A = this chain, B = another copy of it.
Amino acid sequence: MNEELDHETVAHGMQPEDTPELRALYQGFKDNHLNPLWTQTGSLMPMTPTSDAVPYVWKWSDLLPLAEKSGELVPVGRGGERRAIGLANPGLGGAAYVSPTLWCAIQYLCPGENAPEHRHAQNAFRFVVEGEGVWTVVDGDPVRMSRGDLLLTPGWRFHGHHNVATEPMAWIDGLDIPFSRQMDVGFFEFGADRVTDNATPQFSQGERLWGHPGLRPLSGLENTVSSPLAAFRWEHTDRALTEQLLLEDEGQPATAGPGHAAIRYVNPTTGGDVMPTIRCEFHRLRAGASTPARQEVGSTVFQVFEGEGAVVLGGERRKLSKGDLFVAPSWVSWSLEAETQFDLFRFSDAPIMEALHFMRTKVSGA
């Protein structure tokens, strides 16, 4: 691909002389809600993806205190629906969009609180960087939320949360709200004001039916758009990553790269992504390992789960600790470096890009 755009050409091509006649023409365009291509080609159709969104790092040490303060000052309830504080990409004009497609928020729930039930076309997940004590009730199925777990609420499922512990709990939410808002695909419906089932079982019904490796219930032979397994437990994730690194030690081709274990969370009915618009993964680097610089179409967010390391993001190196989040917009390069064992949760809009055949990837030397 020709990376060397001749900007002079673009800027000067097809620009006619400024005459009264031309001004009249341009006024005619305006009056008739028209807009000529030749005055805007470069910005409309850049040589490579050039996002308004910028690469950015949020520190957990900044976020958590603000969430705690919100817990004191802001009641949770119908209308606002959630005590969720969205990461607002500095390039996107203040909207609570971490990227043009993705929403990422820290959500905070105090002991005894209920986040009321609702449902929406938007797909959602929660990932728990620390804490426990909240159950999210998804279409009547209470799902425990514990450290390291990924919990899904795919589109159009009723869901509410309640905290049965004595401590507040914080976690991150990921959704496709910006995509849904800009592409006009959202539907929303209120449900019960309090969660409809107060039970606090160790395992959800979905896990009990679907959480057995390679086994599918005969009562569930129809494939579903989103994963019917909606709780992915840390115990399994940790074991899968541990085994990959052990297999690498034994000389087997098990890892995503040297010292780099990684799993994708999948829909067991298809083997594909857990939801149609959001990909979720977990990455573990050995101390000292790093990943090659990578550019991808579409945007991605990482949260450090454990350990110390850094990201080189759009060419700039930033240190990362537990809870820190960063976003890499489309085609902005990122690579990870681990000081200690370095565990990161990741989500992205890759399913959108792949479904529409826009995905491209470029990997540079480590």
Contact = CB atoms under 8 A, between A and B. Distances in A.
Interface string A1-31: 1100110011111111001011001001100
Given A37-B105, A84-B36, A96-B40, A214 B265 contact: yes
Interface stretch (A163-171, A220-228, A310-318): A220-228
Contacts of A100: 182-184
Given A2-B189, A6-B190, 15 more contacts: A10-B79, A14-B75, A25-B70, A29-B66, A33-B56, A33-B88, A37-B84, A37-B96, A38-B84, A45-B188, A49-B187, A53-B184, A100-B182, A212-B240, A223-B271
Interface stretch (A242-250, A301-309, A333-341): A242-250
B246 A187 contact: no
Contact of A217 (B86, B219, B262): B262
Interface in A348-366: 349, 351-353, 355-358, 360
B214 A330 contact: no
A190 B2 contact: yes
A216 B25 contact: no
A15 B218 contact: no
A38 B83 contact: yes
Contacts of A40: 96
Contacts of A265: 214-216
B66 A1 contact: no
Interface in A48-77: 48-51, 53, 56, 58, 62-63, 66, 69-70, 73-77
